[in-house]
């Protein structure tokens, strides 16, 4: 019997627990924002609002959907097979720290955007 091939560790499993939680929070907030934009677009369609506002919201919706897609992809990214998890962390610690900061800032930005929406 052939032993199962070892899978490469996922990037999401190598970041700290708080970063994983923040990624999920960001994904949830983006999902909520997407729902609000969808509702606003339906309302605009019903009210026959000006096309500029509708186009702006559709472009915003496309950006939110792209961000959600990228986050979902991020959750499936494996590190390269010829590198151990610790080697990956050692080689990429600065980028992972920057990534953590970006996620935290984007959570705050989404909250601000939703409050102004």
pLDDT at 1 exceeding the cut of 70: no
pLDDT tens digits, one per residue of 51-94: 788 888 999 999 999 999 999 998 888 887 777 788 888 888 88
Please, how many CA atoms are within 13 Å of residue 13, restricted to the half-sphere of its CB? 11
pTM (2 decimals)? 0.76
* CA Rg value for the chain: 19
8 A C-beta contact, residue 43 and residue 52: no
What's the rounded Cα separation, in Å, for the pair 89 and 16? 11
8 A C-beta contact, residue 79 and residue 8: yes
């Amino acid at each position: 019997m052939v032993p199962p091939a070892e899978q490469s560790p996922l990037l999401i499993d190598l970041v700290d627990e708080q970063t994983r939680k923040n990624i999920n929070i960001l994904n949830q907030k983006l999902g909520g924002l997407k729902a609000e934009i969808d509702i606003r677009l339906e309302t605009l369609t019903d009210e026959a609002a000006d096309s500029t506002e509708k186009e702006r919201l559709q472009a915003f919706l496309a950006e939110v959907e792209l961000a959600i897609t990228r986050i979902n992809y991020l959750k499936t990214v494996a590190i390269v097979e010829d590198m151990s998890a610790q080697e990956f962390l050692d080689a990429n610690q600065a980028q992972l720290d920057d990534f953590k900061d970006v996620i935290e800032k984007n959570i705050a930005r989404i909250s601000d955007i939703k409050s102004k929406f």
